[in-house]
Amino acid sequence: MPFNLGLPEVLIVLVLALLFLGPKRLPEAGRSLGRGIREFKDGISGNDDEPHTTTSSLNPPPPAYTPPPAYTPPAEHTPQPGD
């Protein structure tokens, strides 16, 4: 391992990142770093055929439109004997 980082060094790096980025932007920075590492690994291994998209499974296409049934007017009332 080229870097000899122990627990104290990792904690110092995390505290410095928290100080520089702040509590609101730190999760976003971690997320983007993770995505970058994942894309780098996929690019090296050749798994870049299908990009990682989660929106297609979360938002399926809407169903096809089906029009309502045609309107049929009611039959005319024919008087019956006795009405």
pLDDT one-digit tens code per residue, 21-32:
888 888 899 899
Q: In one letter, which amino acid is 4? A: N
Spatial neighbors of 13 by CB under 8 A, at least 6 apart, are 5
Q: At residue 55, does pLDDT exceed 60?
A: no
d(CA 59, CA 62): 9
Task: Write down the pLDDT at residue 49.
Answer: 57
Cβ-based neighbours of 81, under 8 Å, separated by 6 or more: none
Question: Is it the case that residue 71 has pLDDT exceeding 70?
Answer: yes
Residue entry with tokens 């979360």: 58
16-34 burial string, b = 16+ CB within 10 Å, else e?
eeeeeeeeeeeeeeeeeee
**pTM exceeding 0.85:** no
Q: Which residue has the higher pLDDT, 75 or 56?
A: 75
Q: What average pLDDT is seen over the chain?
A: 79
- How much is the pLDDT for 11? 92
